[in-house]
Amino acid sequence: MFRCQLCGRTGDKRFFERHHLIPASGRKTSPTIWVDYQCGDIIHRLFTNRELKQRYNTLESLLGAPEIQRWVAWVSRRPLERHIPMTPPGRKIGIARRKIS
């Protein structure tokens, strides 16, 4: 059983991936966290590699980001299997930026 370190959902290993906290250049030495594919995807849709490297390079700083908090509040009640349509990569406007009730 794997557990997402962002949203806390648990499930089979096939839903999970390692997120490198320091993207690109620091990849070989970057610490990693386990996240599900949806959370791993949204991290890279909400933030550029530069933002991730400079501001969100720890689990604590990621969890402290308002965008991530809105995302986690929304996605944590949904099943891992479910496909969630999101904006194409590189777009700054994603589901986590919409008002979620």
Q: Footprint of Zn ion on this chain (CB under 5 A)?
A: 4, 6-7, 36, 39
**Residues, the chain:** 101
For the record, the structure tokens of 78 come out as 């949904």
Q: Which is nearer to Zn ion, 17 or 36 (CB)?
A: 36
Q: How far is the CB of 25 from Zn ion (least distance, A)?
A: 25
| E strand segments, 41-89 | none
Q: Closest approach of Cβ 80 to Zn ion, in Å?
A: 8
DSSP secondary structure string for all residues of 78-95: S-TTS----PPTT-S--G
| Residues 78, 48 contacting (CB under 8 angstroms) | no
Q: Which is nearer to Zn ion, 18 or 25 (CB)?
A: 18
Q: Supply the minimum distance, in Å, between the C-beta of residue 38 and Zn ion.
A: 6
Question: Which residue, 25 or 78, has its beta carbon nearer to Zn ion?
Answer: 78
H or E segment and range at residue 49: helix 49-54
Taking the complex as a whole, how short is the minimal distance between the CB of residue 39 and Zn ion, in angstroms? Answer: 3
Residue among 7 and 95 whose Cβ is closer to Zn ion: 7
